[in-house]
Structure 1
Amino acid sequence: MNEHDTPVRRRRLLDAGQHLPLLDDYGRLLAGTGFSSASVHIHLGSALHFLAWLVQSGIALEEMGPDIVARFAAHDCRCHSSPRRVGQHYINRVDRFVRHLAARGVLPPRPVAEAPAVDRNVADWLDAQDRQRGLAKVTIVRHGRMLAQILPFIGTDPSRYTARIIRDGLLEHAQTARSVHYPKMVASALRLYLRHLAHRGLAAPDLDRAVPTAKSWRLASLPRYLEPDAVERLIASCDPETPGGRRDRAILLLLARLGLRARDVAELRLADIDWRAATIAVCGKGRREVRLPLPQDAGDALIAWLTGPRPAASGDTVFARLLPPFDPVSSGVVGGVVRRAVERAGVENAPSRGSHLLRHSAATAMLRGGATLDAIATVLRHRSTDTTAHYAKVDVAMLGDVAQAWPADGPTNAAPPSTPPLGLAWPEGAPC
């Protein structure tokens, strides 16, 4: 009892029990990858909570199933004296810790989820997209996902397809679509699918013409870009003393100097870099491989990332994640690098925050530097210069050379020309 006769409650702390060595090993791994002490403390706190929950729940490591993280996220927390807020970022940190344990062999590897059954005609079409058209896997997956949205409305039997069924199905889907962009993507995938069915003789020909075209104007929008000084601020915002800063700097330089796509950076491999010739091989859309010159600053940034302290990635990809189990980066991670750089550099009113922002900026800078549209199309790997002409709209000097005087030369007080007749007058007495 204290002086106020109030019982003193002992604070219940999280206890990892026999799993404490796993936590110590994880902490050393995070510290060795260049994480700050505050970041290591945050990740270890989430991992400690998870291990303490295992101990209190009586769950052994060998009994952990693939749903263990979901069970932890749903538990009514009584692990600590004060309730812990378990948000999505908290759960993500726990999921990384579980994947780290699986990568170290402490836990059995997670079973690969079985893919849902796909209609035979759809599977044949997706396979043709890969073998005949050479589309990227991410594009094929997106086509399949878009087609799966419209099939419940039009059915899976191609022999029953008619123009009315196609149009009614698309209209019904558009009314329930989750995004305004989905109907356009669904229509594009369905149009390709109907052409494939007609080619195989499984559906009536020319049904793809029944798919309505979304209203759009070619090259109507302006490219979203940053001025060169803003791009340099993004690059300078990376801390070269940390593994994350070195990685992000190399990614930003490849995007800004060569106008690469996010997938190009994510799939870059060590064998793609020719250090003697100072070139890199990039496999773009349609699996067309080209070699691009590697600028000096981008090459120096790659060397700093590859030779400095960094996570021990198992594959041969150049860029890896900074958190266990250190998988190769994805296109989303590359886009996140640009987004965080925009926030660090304090760039206000950025037209976008994805990786294509630097691709547009690189093309605009080359155009203003005197490069021709053909040269820019070669660097950006456009199949047609019509696509590259999108950037000509931001070249004010070029537009000034072709702009016509306004108003037209002539006396300002001249009477406007009379309106030409729209057609011959209808003769009187003629039948309607």
Structure 2
Amino acid sequence: MTATRRKPGRMGPYIEGYTAWLVGLGYTRGTVVNMLAIAGDLGRWMNVRDLAPGDLDRVVAAEFRSACGAAGMRCVPGPRGLDPLLDYLEHVGVLVGAAAPTTPVDELVERYRNWLVADRGLADATVVRYSKLALSFLSQRVTEDSDWVGSLTGADVVAFLLRESGRLSVGSTKGRVAELRSLLKFLYLAGLTPRPLATALPPVAGWHDTGIPKGIAAADVQWLLDSCDRTDPTGIRDFAMLILVARLGLRSVEVARLGLSDIDWRTGQVVLRGKASREDGMPLPTDVGEALAAYLSQARPETRLRQIFVTCKAPTRAITPGLVSDVTHRACDRAGLPRVGAHRLRHSLATEMLRRGAKLVDVSQVLRHRDLATTAIYAKVDFDTLRTIAAPWPGAAR
């Protein structure tokens, strides 16, 4: 498969490997041909500019795009049109990847990020969220003073938290407190602050478990499942994802992490990898197993990825947890129902189990709660049991 009869210039040594890379990511033949043509145009432009492949970055890519437009080329690559090529060159070691930290804040955030991974073993998504908060907080504190970290005070920390709480919900503010405490703990352990400033953070006011879990009717859940077009690869995948949430109460992250080796077809069991790196085994119901088998045999793209659920369009990648709720939203639109997230289906499973006579401890086991107190919130929707213990209102007939 070649993109052009002209020589691809300084991209020549990488064309064959780049072709295999694109095919492996699931790009169609026509798309691969077009992307190789762009690589060839870039290689010839690099000859003129006397640039080596190692000199490439997104700034040089933008210059190339401008040169294409100035030359009147009919097909100018888009802003992200060269990203796959840059990713491939980074993969094979031609490019060094992201630039090293250049400011004191960048260097400190990088140290913090390494600590989160190596010492605390946090998940990638959590590391990203905590690092983002650290960058925001430290960027507001940096000064020309060489001891700008050591001079931090409890008042500085509380003032930042108050500014954040003014624009966030109670739940999000509680998250900020956890993120900020983690950063302050690191700064103290690293010897950068003389006092453990994490103790200066006040708790966020807010009662626990004051709401009522909101599920949707079992018939509506079935409508969501039935809305998936199971003659289409995307619909087959979406049905398998939704039935895992609706029948087993999986969290979005558990759906995204589910791997090929997590299914034991002989014993009919599935291993779930959820929060805090916890693993749980659950029986695999027949309808869920059939949905997974249909997706794996009929709709899943050919890929070396070990995650079960992958994107339907190139580049082929493992899905993110957020896609599970996106799929749920689209199913609601097709079924003509108000939009709900994937977690609402988890609530629906719990309330339906209670309606059918299950005990709270059974619900706790299915939802894989570590503490039965977490499941106790569903007692508020167990109306049949509540009626048996409700005291009569004084002066009124029961």
TM-score (norm: length of structure 1): 0.68
Q: Distance in 2 between matches of 1:370 and 1:114?
A: 58
Q: Which runs of 5+ in 2 are unaligned?
A: 7-14, 47-52
Give 1:171's aligned amino acid: L
Counterparts of 1:61 and 1:267, CA distance in 2: 42
Q: Which amino acid aligns with 1:361?
A: S
Change (3 A) 1:300 1:158: same
Aligned residue-pair number: 363
The aligned residue for residue 387 of structure 2 is: 400
The DSSP-based 3-state class of the residue aligned with 1:321 is coil
**Partner of 1:359 in structure 2?**
346
Match of 1:428 in 2: none
- Structure of greater Rg: 1
In the other structure, the counterpart of 1:10 is: none
Question: Against the structure 1 CA distance between its residues 260 and 404, is the aligned structure 2 distance closer, same or farther, given a 3 Å change threshold?
Answer: same
Partner of 2:220: 230
1:324 Cα deviation after fit? 1.4
Q: Distance in 1 between matches of 2:246 and 2:155?
A: 48
Which residue does 1:321 correspond to in 2?
Answer: 311
Establish whether residue 304 from structure 1 lines up as the match of residue 291 from structure 2.
no
Among 79, 84, 88, which residue is 1:99 paired with?
Answer: 84
CA distance in 2, matches of 1:323, 1:363: 34
Structure 1 residue 171: Cα displacement: 3.2
Distance 1:389 1:70, change over 3 A: farther
Which stretch has the larger CA shift, 198-207 or 209-218?
Answer: 198-207
In structure 2, relative to structure 1, the CA distance for the partners of 1:309 and 1:166 (3 Å cut) is closer
**1:125 offset after TM fit, Å?**
4.8
SS of alignment partner, residue 213 of structure 2: coil
Summarize the Cα distance change of 1:331–1:73 in structure 2 as closer, same or farther, 3 Å threshold.
farther
Question: What code does the residue aligned with 2:84 have?
Answer: R
Q: Is 1:282 aligned to residue 272 of structure 2?
A: yes
Cα distance, 1:197 vs structure 2: 4.1
For residues 30-429 of structure 1, the aligned pairs below 5 Å read 59=42, 63=46, 67=58, 68=61, 95=81, 99=84, 112-114=97-99, 116=101, 122-123=109-110, 125-131=112-118, 133-155=120-142, 157-173=148-164, 183-198=173-188, 202-205=192-195, 207-347=197-337, 349-350=338-339, 352=340, 354-406=341-393, 408-409=394-395
Q: Could you say what secondary structure the match of 1:377 adopts?
A: helix
Q: CA RMSD in A?
A: 4.4
Q: Residues 296-332 of structure 1, C-alpha deviation per residue, up to 9 Å, x if partnerless?
A: 1111111111112431112111111111121111112
Distance 1:300 1:51, change over 3 A: same
Q: Deviations over 1:106-127 (max 9, x none)?
A: x998863346466666555544
Q: Do 2:240 and 2:292's aligned partners in 1 also have CA atoms closer than 8 Å?
A: yes
Distance 1:410 1:329, change over 3 A: closer
What is the rounded CA distance, in whole Å, between the counterparts of 1:100 and 1:146 in structure 2? 32
The residue identity in structure 1 corresponding to 2:134 is: L
Q: 1:180 to 1:187 in 2, by over 3 A?
A: same
Instruction: Give ranges in structure 1 of 5+ residues lacking alignment.
Output: 1-15, 412-432
The CA distance in 2 between the partners of 1:291 and 1:141, in whole Å, is 29
How many Å separate the matches in 1 of 2:328 and 2:66? 30
Q: What letter matches 1:277 in structure 2?
A: T
- The TM-score, its normalising length taken from structure 2, stands at 0.73
Match of 1:12 in 2: none
The 3 A distance-change label for structure 1 pair 170 and 62 is: same
State the Cα distance separating 1:59 from its structure 2 match. 4.8
Q: CA deviation at 1:219?
A: 0.9
